[in-house]
Amino acid sequence: MSKKRNSPVALIFGFILLAIVGGLVYVYSSNLFERQPPKITLDKEIEWNLKEPIKVQISDDSGLRFIRATLSDGEKSVVLDTKEMKTPEKNVDLNLTFPKTGFGANKKVFELSVEAVDASKWNFFAGNEVRAKAIIKVDTKRPELSVIGSSYKIMKGGVASVIFRAQDDNMKSLYIETNFGKKFYPTPFHKEGYYISLVAWPSHIENFSASVVAIDRAGNISKAHLPYFLQDRKYKNSTINLEDKFLDGKIADLISEVAPERSSMSKLEKFKYINEDLRKGNEAIILKTTSNVPTESISSFVFKPFYPLRNGKVVASFGDHRFYEYDKKPVSESYHLGLDLASNAQSGMQTSNDGVVVFAKENGIYGNNIIVSHGLGIYSLYGHCSSYLVKEGDSVKAGDFLAKTGLTGLALGDHLHFGMYVQGVDVRPEEWMDESWLKDNIFSIIESAKKIIDR
């Protein structure tokens, strides 16, 4: 019995079917026929001051072939930009500016429409199309800003206060900028639209200037300079000779506690690590802990002069710039960011003001370290504690004991390292121990400002 031969028609039909299937597979898998529409990065709602262009980002894997941006005021429309690419581009950035004609005069709300078509052969060679829309709210008015009261002066290494009014329905940012890059953030004060803040002048910064800055969502900016009288202060420079007893004793012991993997270092390498690398890390922890600013509104502020150690004697001053030498050769340097007070061994450390314990743990050169938040961005710090009498999260009252003095960290004798911080900046503790300074720079400013606000 002979086999049937394949019919030529069947073979032709098979080849056609195979070609169709192959063509369909090619269409669905080829980049030329990709089916993803372009991506348009455009916010749904935009505040616009008309000064800076509106930036729109458009992208597509197969390349963009056509783009058009149109602005409508509800009655008329105007094309802001049109692009037809001879060679498809995968990424296109638009910088849209308001038309210089009389279009949209006195109108405050517009609709922006952006359409894009890619170079794909999909959709019968027409490509993939997408359209994005945004509501544009024109706002060219700057925030209202005025200083109500402020300290007369600020000392190098010290603190000043300011109370101001800032008003805008679309406020985005509000802060005090300084010439050294630090921003201080205000706390709402007394009535809506009013704010209070403390600012600090670091002891190692030669000059100081500050301005209140208000920015709305449209990018309009208002600034108010703070006309503080600048009071310079010279801080002590000390040259300290490093002795073998200190290097082989305290430094070696501290290395074994905090960085035993560095025990093979030379004695001077160990000291540099402690005084520079470890110190930098410890101070970064303090900076982070003391940078938070309360956002709850306040109407008054009660604060007493600090007296952290009964019968304490000052044994090292704030702002001391220390230069360390070994065999009369420079080794390292550092700044002393607090006031060292000594009394009897294991003396009790007290807080003079209510607050919350935000840090209570070992912190390198500071040893057992406690930090208390007192509100308004003010923090007190207690270093070299021998033991803790509080823990993180505890609320403390004026007069409460926090810890006992000791020798932990980089301490040669039993003492308290007492520091004061304002929004992460170390400041002169002496000011916060002075009742007259507190009255002149905080309390009287608050009371005078409240009378002006309540008129």
Specify the pLDDT at position 123: 84
Averaged pLDDT in 10-residue chunks for the chain of 455 residues: 59 66 52 87 95 95 94 93 94 94 86 95 87 96 97 98 97 98 98 98 97 97 98 96 96 95 95 97 98 94 95 94 96 96 95 98 98 98 97 97 97 96 98 97 96 95
Predicted local confidence at residue 8, as pLDDT: 72
What pLDDT is attached to residue 30? 52
Domains of the chain: 36-138 (2.60.40.10), 144-233 (2.60.40.10), 237-423 (2.70.70.10)
Structure confidence at residue 348 (pLDDT): 96
Task: Write out pLDDT tens, residues 239-281.
Answer: 999 999 999 999 999 999 999 999 999 999 999 999 999 999 9
pLDDT at 1: 46
The predicted pLDDT at position 449 comes to 97
Residues 6 or more apart from 447 whose CB is under 8 A from it? none
Q: What is the reported pLDDT for 102?
A: 78
**Which amino acid, 440?**
D
